[in-house]
Chains A and B, each alone.
Chain A
């Protein structure tokens, strides 16, 4: 099991800006959500963004003392597997296929909430939007006015799952 974290630039440590501690907080928030709500652990993935991950992306907006977007992206196979574990249904069941987007959106929502609870001053002063989920094979997610961001790559049942927190100034 790998223990490396894939990171991007983390500029500055001003209030509302990512710090190195946020990396750990984001991973730990996600690990707890997967452990408690999906019933399966995640592990950190070695450096290098894997290809072919853009099948499904869930996003939650943050506003207040921290403004930005938290996204989680993975393959359709991973999204269906997550839904399967959450629902307690076989992966090939219609319920899992139908509810994969709902499941990933809720995971993103819980990771965002759990993350802000772990960072001083964010729990009370940062609000979350309802999740949005997009699907497809050929798109790039752009967040306007992004000043900085952090990325955490994980493995869920050997399938890559990427978390990204983009912070607006």
Chain B
């Protein structure tokens, strides 16, 4: 879990900072943290950078998180990157949709640092 290049996609800059802090508290050693405020910006980051982990909100302007994950599947350099959705929208239908589109985990807001650790750390051990 060292030298992780993480992409955090959320339209709230405050929330992006909280997610980054939770990752560090979980023991994830972050080499680089890319930030994007919507799915379109997230796709641009993935298109031009190596990323090891993506955490994305769902409810965002311009391109929401589900559309973002869907588009990621078509991006050649996004294959195998674990994606975890972090959102206030916690319906089972959305969870199912996110997983079917390729997300590996789902965290509902509000969340604790332990919940981030619980969902993210196993993915980094398995997928890298």
Contacts and interface: CB of A to CB of B under 8 A. Distances in A.
Interface residues of A, number: 26
Interface residues of B, number: 23
Nearest to B38: A130
B11 interface: yes
A136 B125 CA distance: 49
B21 interface: yes
Q: Which 9 A-B pairs have the closest CB atoms?
A: A113-B88, A36-B110, A106-B12, A124-B91, A103-B14, A37-B110, A110-B109, A33-B110, A102-B14
Contacts, number: 64
19 contacts: A35-B110, A36-B110, A36-B112, A37-B18, A37-B109, A37-B111, A86-B14, A86-B17, A106-B14, A106-B15, A110-B110, A113-B109, A114-B109, A117-B90, A117-B108, A123-B91, A124-B91, A127-B89, A128-B59
B89 A113 contact: yes
Q: Please classify the interface of chain B as helix (H, G, I), strand (E, B), loop, or mixed, using the class held by over half of its residues.
A: loop
Nearest to A130: B61
